[in-house]
Amino acid sequence: MAKFVRVDMATKQVKVEDVPEQYLALGGRALTSQLVADEVPPTCDPLGPFNKLVIAPGLLSGTSAPSSGRLSVGAKSPLTGTIKESNAGGVTSQKLANIHIKAIVIEGKPAEQGFYLLKLNANGAEMMPADDLAGKGTYEVTAICRERFGAKVGVITIGPAGEMLMLSAGVTNNDSEGSSSRYAGRGGLGAVMGSKGLKAIIVDAAKTFDAPVQDVQRFKEAAKKFSQMLLDHPVTGQGLPAYGTNVLMNIINEAGTLPTRNFRFGRFDKASEVSGEKLAEVAIARGGKATHACHPGCVMRCSNAYPMPDGKVCSPVEYETAWGFGPNLEISDLDVVAKLNYICNDVGLDTIEAGCTLGVLMEAGVLSFGDGQAAIAALEEVGQGTPLGRVIASGATNAGKLYGVTRIPAVKGQGIPAYDPRSCKGNGVTYATTTMGADHTAGYAVTANILKVGGFVDPTKAEGQVELSRNLQIATAAVDSTGLCLFVAFAVLDNPEGLPTIVEMLNAQYGLTLTTDDALALGMNVLKVEREFNRQAGFTSADDRLPEFFTIEELSPHNTKFDVKNEDLDKVFDF
């Protein structure tokens, strides 16, 4: 029987309870958002006692479904003030599912100082003091916990940024190799975990792919079919397995939508120096890995392991991170990019937000564009808790306001990722309207705008972008609920059998009779729940807008502005 684990940090009591009927058909993002909506006052202080942190595996996690090990972490975001779900790979989603834990709900706030650790296994849950882990980086904490509790445990933890309640702190867990770098990074959920006084969660499960399945043979056939779809698609079967997500660097640069120098230009003349091809070349030469799986059972294997000159390994360097610390800052040294990435991973900071914030500080003249060593020195101050470190960790919007910068690439307080909305306008619609602040994964219109996956919508024109973003946001909410990696969407969008096969896996696992319409209805409901939470928190259509500089400044090389009309943005959720 599936269980909820409820942890009251005020009393240090842990309760394991049966899942109420209304939540049985939910998982991943659908479950985290519904629980937050049901149990968290929308107007509460995100770092106060009434917010809750919800951690949930997806519906398919813990099974042999390919690339289904994604973990959802949800709460009210201290960075944006909105509802938030952040998504990560790693080993813990499957481990939670294999000990029948449908969600962990962390609530309350301790009156005293100090940190605690929660240990979960098939026999129950246990709280224990963890002050000896306080102040330590995520790599060290994970190594200590794996030595203490076993090399195969999953370790969910926060770094010093989360302990210090920094607004862009993330929640991480480890991959199969023990690297603590699989982040639910966006939205500051690490600060929520830190506010609860919880330093780490240990998930001890002997099995990985043995979550209950009602019709095993039917499930195996559907999973095999879906796996082949992923392997047969040029993106999920060739591009990502060869060069990882950073295969996009040269593609997006060529498309003229690579944000450069804090979103001033659409191309970076040294993009190839921080590209996936270059990363693979250097990583292999140094004994690293051009690609590997971020979680067991992934057939796309789009992660990587990049050995740095100091002997440490940064795993992974994703495209959005390479952009944020590379072209965005006019830095073309891959070792500098990896160093900045590693610092964020260890201190527990969202790399996208950190990149956006450093760009704003360079805009303000606090740092100089292209000065990688100064960026490293500044980012190292985060872990020290210095004033500059706290400014960086407060996010791009807050840093910009502090320094009087008006050119702040952010929506609802969250930094815009690695695709300029003036020449990838479908993503611009997503950035403006998603429930969680600027988030490329919420409705990844790069598919049709740039990659011509699932059709083609001209990225430089306003026509068709609202419909594209709407449909992708609905589909993404559904995929995020299954535990499947979002990248399966490349194959699903191009193969009419994709979505029916996902539904077939769900039906075989749970003994259901869902249709594809039911799956899309799930996605719609997730968005409705999240929108209603935000409405009650005080958000209106006025918040569903891009920063005005995108509408008045032309972006080279296409010389385009973001010209999707406000009245059309307000129609995204007309369903």
Q: pLDDT tens digit string along 192-205? A: 999 999 999 999 99
Task: Give the model confidence (pLDDT) of 471-502 as tens digits.
Answer: 999 999 999 999 999 999 999 999 999 999 99
Task: Give the model confidence (pLDDT) of 170-219 as tens digits.
Answer: 999 999 999 999 999 999 999 999 999 999 999 999 999 999 999 999 99
Query: Looking at residue 483, what DSSP letter applies?
Result: T
Task: Give the model confidence (pLDDT) of 303-320 as tens digits.
Answer: 999 999 999 999 999 999
Of the pLDDT bands very low, low, confident and very high (cuts 50, 70, 90), residue 408 is very high
Task: State the Cα–Cα distance between residues 243 and 276, nearest whole angstrom.
Answer: 5
Phi then psi dihedrals of residue 261, to 5 deg: 55, 60
424-429 average pLDDT score: 98
Tell me, what's the pLDDT at 448?
98
| Alpha carbons within 13 A on the beta-carbon side of 110 | 17
Task: State the Cα–Cα distance between residues 181 and 171, nearest whole angstrom.
Answer: 9
CATH of 242-420, one of 1.20.1530.20, 3.90.700.10, 1.10.569.10, 1.20.120.330: 1.10.569.10
Closest to 356 (Cα-Cα) out of 392, 386, 382:
392
CB 353 within 8 A of CB 341: no
In the block, tokens 């684990």 appear at 5
Residue 54 pLDDT greater than 90, yes or no: yes
Residue 94 pLDDT greater than 90, yes or no: yes
Task: Give the model confidence (pLDDT) of 517-548 as tens digits.
Answer: 999 999 999 999 999 999 999 999 999 999 99
Q: What is the DSSP string of 338-397?
A: HHHHHHHHHHTB-HHHHHHHHHHHHHTTSS-TT-HHHHHHHHHHHHHT-HHHHHHHT-HH
Portions of the chain given CATH number 3.60.9.10: 3-203
Phi then psi dihedrals of residue 3, to 5 deg: -130, 150
Task: Give the model confidence (pLDDT) of 111-122 as tens digits.
Answer: 999 999 999 999
> Which amino acid is located at 565 in the chain?
K
Tell me, what's the pLDDT at 486?
94
Residue % of the chain over a pLDDT of 90: 99
CB 315 within 8 A of CB 303: yes
Task: State the Cα–Cα distance between residues 291 and 303, nearest whole angstrom.
Answer: 5
In the block, tokens 């030469």 appear at 285
CB 119 within 8 A of CB 149: yes
Round the average pLDDT of the chain to a whole number and report it.
97
Residue 346 pLDDT greater than 90, yes or no: yes
CATH 3.60.9.10 fits 3-203, yes or no: yes
Q: What is the DSSP string of 406-445?
A: ----EETTEE--SS-TTTSHHHHHHHHH-TTSS-GGGS-T
Which residues lie closer than 8 Å to 502 by C-beta, 6 or more apart? 226, 479, 482, 484, 488, 492, 519
Portions of the chain given CATH number 1.10.569.10: 242-420
Residue 1 pLDDT greater than 90, yes or no: no
Tell me, what's the pLDDT at 567?
98
Helix (H) or strand (E) holding 499: helix 498-510
- Strand ranges (E), 46-147: 53-57, 71-76, 83-88, 101-107, 116-121, 124-129
If one counts every other C-beta atom within 10 angstroms of the C-beta of residue 376, the result is 16
Task: State the Cα–Cα distance between residues 527 and 521, nearest whole angstrom.
Answer: 10
CB 56 within 8 A of CB 25: no
401-426 average pLDDT score: 98
